[in-house]
Amino acid sequence: MQLSGYLQRFDKNQLQNFTSGLGAPIVLLAIMGMVILPMPPFLLDVLFSFNIALSLVIILVAVLTQRPVDFGIFPLVLLIATVLRLALNVASTRVVLLYGHEGGDAAGKVIEAFGAVVIGGNYAVGIVVFAILLIINFKVVTAGAGRISEVSARFTLDAMPGKQMAIDADLNAGYIDQDQARQRREEITAEADFYGSMDGASKFVKGDAVAGLFIMLINIVGGLFIGMIQHDLSFGNAIEIYTILTIGDGLVAQIPSLLLSVATAIIVTRENETQEMGKEIRGQLGNNQALYIASGVLFVMGIIPGMPHIAFLGFSFLIAGFAYWQTVQAKKKAAEPQLPDNIAKDETVAPEVKELGWDDVQQVDTIGLEVGYRLIPLVDKSQGGELLTRIKGVRKKLSQELGFLIPPVHIRDNLDLEPNTYTIAMLGVTIGDSVISHDEELAINPGQVFGKLEGRATKDPAFG
């Protein structure tokens, strides 16, 4: 009875919450299984195909993401993909060394295809292709991405205090509210965490490229030793079989590694733009003058004797046609009448009437301070103003004495006030105002000073 009652209470939501957290542990256990347990060739084909598909998805998401921070899980995904690929290398190495003497398909169809189709079954060509991919990945893409990650992380951390101060200044000036300030602070923190994680994740990519070289060398040497000693293969047969399988295994691993390295470079070199990378490239490279000049250069190269005329002339006409099309589109857009933003182009469509909400009501500051334009230097930190710091200190002291947090004071400049006038308001209602001269000193008689000072008589706004 107790078991049946428990099963009734264990609804679908609880089951979903229970199973949603099992994804990462299952992946880690699967990676450990690939390292420890021998795997059949069919399962290797499935996992190698999945690895290539995962790398393609990651690089496409990196290209289509508008801001790098929007792909905040990228460092974690990069780490998991790198560990998965290294585990596949270990599993495929085991299969190649154990069953490589049986034939090209002993390690799976994927490795055989990359060893036979991609490099044409020629292990010398395979070694050259693998070396070129390794150099591109390690010395060009990975090295550049790692350096950019370091610089981006350092610059992002250095800029954090200035960004935080700018948010505090906007909040104190009343340009943003508490929710907007909290959101901006969270964005700054997320950006710093992202570039800090990318600085570490780029080291995994670099180490993966180095590991690929050593894995290939170990496979070739180990394959020659096992083939000649244990399976009585000749040196020529052993080096042909194991080298082709090793090169195929290396290419299957290096191509996804290169894709992830390029994705890392794309992420760290992008700025916080509001458009996709394709639109940014098309918008910034679509300079008609540059396109016409490039078309002319290609046309001249195309008419030189001995040059491939069709290729150069074809691209010349293609670029010129694209530049002409952009010019026509720009003229059409300039000829269209520009309507104001508040006027709809289709006036037959009735505007949608939204229900009134609190977002439509103007927010009223709990405590507000408005100053004339001559008092702005008291507020502006760049001009030596310390009013914001002193107000914060007064709020802190009063909060400690009264036992509750004093609301922030929003300061604004008001050109309708007299130059030396300020007003204090609570909930939008003015409760006090006065006139001060920030370039003069205020002398207060405590009651024990006799005589007369030269100056302008005034009234202490605080004590009367």
CATH number for the domain harbouring residue 382: 3.40.30.60
Do residue 214 and residue 82 come from a single domain? yes
Q: What is the pLDDT of residue 36?
A: 82
Do residue 267 and residue 293 come from a single domain? no
What average pLDDT does this structure show over 183-207?
A: 79
Do residue 209 and residue 308 come from a single domain? no
State the Cα–Cα distance between residues 255 and 130, nearest whole angstrom: 10
Do residue 232 and residue 209 come from a single domain? yes
Nearest Cα neighbor of 256 from 194, 205, 199, 203 is 205
Do residue 318 and residue 388 come from a single domain? no
Do residue 138 and residue 257 come from a single domain? yes
Do residue 314 and residue 187 come from a single domain? no
Residue type, position 182, single letter? R
The values of phi and psi at residue 355, to 5°, are: -70, 140
Task: Using the predicted structure, report yes or no on whether residue 60 has a pLDDT greater than 70.
Answer: yes
Do residue 43 and residue 139 come from a single domain? yes
Residue type, position 312, single letter? F
Q: What is the pLDDT of residue 274?
A: 58
What average pLDDT does this structure show over 49-64?
A: 88
Is residue 3 a part of any domain in this protein? no
Do residue 267 and residue 296 come from a single domain? no
| 62, 74 Cβ separation under 8 angstroms | yes
Do residue 65 and residue 208 come from a single domain? yes
Is residue 343 a part of any domain in this protein? no
Give pLDDT tens digits for 113-169. Answer: 777 776 676 777 777 877 887 788 777 777 777 777 777 777 777 777 778 888 888
**Domain span holding position 78:** 9-276
| 244, 62 Cβ separation under 8 angstroms | no
Is residue 315 a part of any domain in this protein? yes
State the Cα–Cα distance between residues 52 and 70, nearest whole angstrom: 23
Is residue 92 a part of any domain in this protein? yes
List the beta strands (DSSP E) in 313-464: 367-371, 409-413, 421-426, 429-435
State the Cα–Cα distance between residues 258 and 266, nearest whole angstrom: 12
List, in order, residues 6 or more apart from 430 with CB less than 8 Å away: 423, 424
Do residue 14 and residue 134 come from a single domain? yes
Is residue 218 a part of any domain in this protein? yes
Is residue 298 a part of any domain in this protein? yes
Q: What is the pLDDT of residue 357?
A: 58
The values of phi and psi at residue 433, to 5°, are: -155, 160
* Domain termination residue (choose one: 276, 294, 314): 276
Give pLDDT tens digits for 225-256. Answer: 888 888 777 777 777 777 778 888 878 888 88
Q: What is the pLDDT of residue 1?
A: 45
Task: Using the predicted structure, report yes or no on whether residue 364 has a pLDDT greater than 80.
Answer: no
Q: Domain count of the chain? A: 3
Is residue 223 a part of any domain in this protein? yes
Do residue 141 and residue 94 come from a single domain? yes
| Token couple for 210 | 């180095």
Q: What is the pLDDT of residue 412?
A: 83
Q: What is the pLDDT of residue 136?
A: 80
Is residue 340 a part of any domain in this protein? no
The mean of the pLDDT values for the chain is 77
Q: Please calculate the CA angle 288-291-297 and round it to the nearest 5 degrees.
A: 145
Give pLDDT tens digits for 392-407. Answer: 888 888 888 888 888 8
Q: Is 384 left (phi over 0), alpha (psi -120 to 50) or beta?
A: left
